[in-house]
Amino acid sequence: MLKVDGLTKKFGELVAVNSLNFEVKEGQIYGIAGPNGAGKSTVYNLITGNYRYEGRIEFDGQDITGLPPYRIAKKGIARTFQVPEIFPSLNVQETIRVGSRFGARGGLDKKHSDEVLNFVGLEEERLQHAGLLNLLGKKKLMVGAALATKPKILMLDEPMAGSNAGEIADLMDLIKKINQQLGITVIIIEHFMKVLTELTETLLIIESGRMICCDRPEIVTSDPRVIESYLGDSYAEDK
Ligand SMILES: Nc1ncnc2c1ncn2[C@@H]1O[C@H](COP(=O)(O)OP(=O)(O)OP(=O)(O)O)[C@@H](O)[C@H]1O
Ligand SMILES: [Mg+2]
C-alpha cells in the first residue's frame, strides 16, 4: 500500500534519512522505532510532502513523490504529531469538523464527524474547548481530527509519549479498533517496545536515518544489532 524507495533527506550536512526502503501492506499495523534523532518523524514529514527529498514514494499504486501536503491528504494519508497540535480556541466538535473539511474526500461530512467523535470517546466533551482537555483527551482529539479526513492510512508519531499505564492501555485499544473495525492501515512510531510488540506485525528499526533491521517484532527485539544500538543490554536481560 505504501512503498518507500531510496528515501533520502539531507538538512545541510546532516543526512537525516539515508537511502531508506520499506513497504507497508494494506491492513497492517506497522511499527517504526529507533534512538532519538534517528529520523523517524522526518520520514513522516517526507511522506506527507512537507519537504523536498530524494527517492520515490508510492501509495495505493500511485507515485506520490513530490506532491504537496493537501494532495497527499486527499489521497488518504493522515498523521498525528509527537506533541498534540490543536486549535485551543475551537471546541472538540469543531476541531473534528476542521479535519473533515481538510481531508475533503467529499468535503465536510457532519455525520461522519459525529461518528468519529463517538468512536474516539469524546462525545461528553463535544462542546468543551480543545485547549482545556487533558493530555489523553488532546491525543484522542488529534486522532479524531485525523480520522475525520477518512484516511486509508493513519501515521501516529509517538502516541504514548507522556502517558501513564492506564492511558497507554486506552490508546492501544483505540489503535486496535481503528485498524480492525475501520480497516485503516496504521504506522506507529513508538519508544515503548511492549506497545510495539503487542500491536505490530512488522517493525522497522532505524538509526542515523538508515535501516538497522525490519522483521516481525519478536525477531527484531532479539537481534543483537538492535540490542546494541537501541534497546541496550538491560532490555535483553529483562526479557
Ligand atoms: N527541519 C529540520 N531542519 C534541520 N534539521 C532537522 C529538521 N528536522 C529534523 N532535523 C534533524 O534530523 C534528525 C532526525 O530528526 P527526527 O525528528 O526525524 O528524529 P526522530 O527519530 O523523530 O527523533 P525523536 O525520537 O527524538 O523524535 C535530527 O538530527 C534532527 O535534529
Ligand atoms: Mg520524532
User: Is 70 exceeded by the pLDDT of residue 233?
Assistant: no
- How sure is the predictor about 86, in pLDDT bands with cuts at 50, 70 and 90? confident
Portions of the chain given CATH number 3.40.50.300: 2-76+153-238
Model pLDDT for residues 64-74, shown as the tens digit of each residue: 999 999 899 99
CA distances 73 to 101, 147, 152, 155, Å, are 11, 11, 10, 12
pTM of the predicted structure, to 2 decimals: 0.94
Which residue's alpha carbon is nearest to atom 11 within ligand 1? 16
209 Cβ inside 6 Å of ligand 1: no
pLDDT of residue 230: 79
- Indicate the DSSP class of residue 18: E
13 Cβ inside 6 Å of ligand 1: no
Q: Which helix (H) or strand (E) holds 219?
A: helix 217-220
Model pLDDT for residues 131-172, shown as the tens digit of each residue: 999 999 999 999 999 999 999 999 999 999 999 999 999 999
d(CA 59, CA 71): 12
Nearest to 32 by CA among 236, 172, 186: 186
Model pLDDT for residues 176-210, shown as the tens digit of each residue: 999 999 999 999 999 999 999 999 999 999 999 99
The sheet that has 54-59: what strands, in order across it?
14-24, 2-11, 54-59, 62-63
pLDDT of residue 238: 54
38 Cβ inside 6 Å of ligand 1: yes
Distance 33 CA to ligand 2 centre (A): 10
Q: What is the mean pLDDT of residues 105-122?
A: 90
| CA of 10, nearest ligand number | 1
Cell 486509508, residue located: 152
d(CA 103, CA 72): 9
- How sure is the predictor about 99, in pLDDT bands with cuts at 50, 70 and 90? confident
Per-residue cell: 8: 533520502
- Beta strand 153-157 with 185-189 is parallel
Distance 32 CA to ligand 1 centre (A): 15
Q: Which CATH number fits domain 2-76+153-238: 3.40.190.10, 3.40.50.300, 3.30.300.30, 3.20.10.10?
A: 3.40.50.300
User: Is 70 exceeded by the pLDDT of residue 106?
Assistant: no
